Amino acid sequence: MVWKEWFGRTEQQTDKPYDDLDPARVPRHVAIIMDGNGRWAQKRGLPRTFGHRAGAEALRAIVRTTAELGIAVLTTYAFSTENWKRPAEEVDLLMNLFSDYLDTEIEELNANGIRVRFCGQTDALAPGLQEKIVHAEKVTAANTGLVLNIAVNYGARAELTRAVRLIAADVQAGSVAPDDIDEEAISRRLFTAGLPDPDLIIRPAGDLRISNFLLWQAAYAEFWFTDTNWPDFRPEHLIAAVADFQKRDRRFGGLNK
């Protein structure tokens, strides 16, 4: 199914909440820490895994709205390098969810011009899931719409450590001189290479922390928090976050014009 363009604002669509946003000033890159799945389930007396399933449902609508708003990149934190500490049953369920998501969503994502990318140490995932990741990235590689960047087995410190190792190897091989190592050299060796830094980072579920997410890339990101748990996060929340972002005065360490 090819989604309808809402952001073009036709006569019939003037009641859409997007009308309050300035299409010229949407963030280029939105990143979301999809937190609160467990609490959402606990509140309902359900196993935590139900919260993750509901979280995957919530993601569908958010991907669609993100694309409709004309945002270029959406990074979603789906599984951190620290999440391996969770019970095996929960880890297995999450891995199955990622796999099912790729099975069921890739066709529609592709039909809507979305490019799927993964961010993290995916080579440590089960071979079957790795194959699906490679397939999803390959079939959507030429798409020019939203980049959906899914962070799986991602940790910012591990990402930076890896970048340092890659640079050290290049220095040892003689292809990079220590004086040539600049910020760009580091950015190029991160999993997010080629993507703009996040402009807006959203964290649902009430905690006010970064949790090892995009530490380098978030240098000048704006943050938006809500107490709503991720499974209850709806396009209205995203629109509220973008509306708030549009009110911020971003100076990047400089002064107002």
Residues with catalytic roles: 35, 83
DSSP for 92-136 reads HHHHHHHHHHHHHHHHHHHHTTPEEEEES-GGGS-HHHHHHHHHH
Beta strands 115-119 and 200-203: pairing type? unpaired
Q: What is the DSSP letter of 83?
A: G
Residue among 50, 101, 154, 191 that touches ligand FPP (CB under 6 A): 101
Instruction: Give the closest residue to 218 by CA, choosing from 182, 176, 255, 190.
Output: 190
Task: Identify residue 223 by its one-letter amino acid code.
Answer: F
d(CA 31, CA 214): 9
Whether the CB-CB separation of 248 and 222 falls below 8 Å is answered with yes
| SS3 category, 42 | helix
The answer to whether residue 26 forms part of the interface with ligand FPP (CB under 6 A) is no
* CB of 66 or CB of 163, closer to ligand FPP: 66
Using the rule CB under 6 A, is 36 a contact of ligand FPP? yes
Shortest gap between Cβ of 119 and ligand FPP (angstroms)? 11
Q: Is 213 in the site for ligand FPP (CB under 6 A)?
A: no
CA distance 120 to 141: 18
Structure tokens at 42: 């606990």
Shortest distance (Å) from residue 247 CB to ligand FPP = 28
Residue 222's beta-bridge partner residues? 200
Site for ligand FPP in 226-245 (CB under 6 A): 230
* Residue whose beta carbon is closest to ligand FPP: 38
Token pair 């809402």 in the structure block, residue: 6
Applying CB under 6 A, among 55, 198, 204, 235 the residue interacting with ligand FPP is 55
What is the C-alpha separation between 13 and 35, in angstroms, rounded?
32
Binding span for ligand FPP by CB under 6 A among 78-86, 107-115, 186-194, 240-248: 78-86
**Integer Cα distance of 254 and 252 in angstroms:** 5
> Which listed residue (13, 83, 99, 212) binds ligand FPP by CB under 6 A?
83
- Comparing CB distances to ligand FPP, the nearer of 75 and 217 is 75
Binding to ligand FPP by residue 98, rule CB under 6 A?
yes
Burial category of 162 from C-beta neighbours within 10 Å (exposed 0-12, middle 13-18, buried 19 and up): middle
Q: Tell which positions 56-75 bind ligand FPP, by CB under 6 A.
A: 56, 59
For the CB of residue 214, give the shortest distance to ligand FPP in the complex, in Å: 16
Which residue's CB is nearer to ligand FPP, number 35 or number 159?
A: 35
* Per-residue x/- track, 151-190, ligand FPP (CB under 6 A): ----------------------------------------
Name the site residues for ligand FPP (rule: CB under 6 A).
Answer: 34-39, 52, 55-56, 59, 76, 78-79, 83, 94, 97-98, 101, 150, 205, 230
